[in-house]
Amino acid sequence: MRLSVIAVGTRMPAWVREAVEEYCKRLPREIAPRWCEIPPAKRGREYAQQRASLTEGEQVLKAIPSGDRVIALEVGGRRMNTESLAQKLQDWQLSANNYSLLIGGPDGLSEACRARAEWCWSLSDLTLPHPLVRVILAEQLYRAWTITVNHPYHRA
């Protein structure tokens, strides 16, 4: 299984890069996600928000490796607890498929990205800043993996 995270946004603060790197280096090589950053589209009076979202969406779709199954991270998506994520992670590993997780930009994911996704996953009902989503995602993937190998990190 190959796991990719495709996220709109570049130049993350150092604390975000460091936290994501820390959780990813704790994961075994076969689970550690590969990160792909998509530059955000220009926004302003001349460049409408909807057009920016479409442009970002096109770039995200191009970055998805061929044949990957796609999960969109969306505030309106399906919520799951950590134990359910651990089961999902095990299922992904056993399926021998590759997966891409999509994180949108300031205006979220385009409709085309949501349409390409098998399902939408919500990390929280709260609206989270996009840099923080990266950290939460990396930590939750690590936490889910620790459950699958009976590591003591997760305490339910």
**107 assigned to a ligand binding site:** no
Angle in degrees, CA 98, 120, 64, rounded to 5? 35
Confidence band (pLDDT; 50, 70, 90) for 131?
Answer: very high
Distance, CA of 136 to CA of 151 (rounded, Å): 19
The pLDDT of residue 42 is 86
Determine if residue 44 is labeled as part of a ligand binding site: no
pLDDT (0 to 100) of residue 127: 87
Does 82 show up as a binding residue in the annotation?
Answer: no
The answer to whether 54 is annotated as binding is: no
- The annotation status of 132 as a binding-site residue, yes or no, is no
pTM, entire model: 0.94
Residues 6+ apart with CB under 8 A from 94: none
Query: Which CATH architecture does the domain made up of 3-148 adopt?
Result: 3-Layer(aba) Sandwich (3.40)
- Domain-by-domain residue ranges, the chain? 3-148
The answer on whether 123 is annotated among ligand-binding residues is: yes
Residue 109 assigned to a binding site: no
DSSP string, 50-111: HHHHHHHHHHHHHHSPTT-EEEEEEEEEEE--HHHHHHHHHHHHHHT--EEEEE-BTTB--H
Q: Mean of the pLDDT values across residues 73-82? A: 94
Using one digit for the tens of pLDDT, what is the confidence trace for 30-70?
899 999 999 999 887 666 777 888 999 999 999 999 999 99
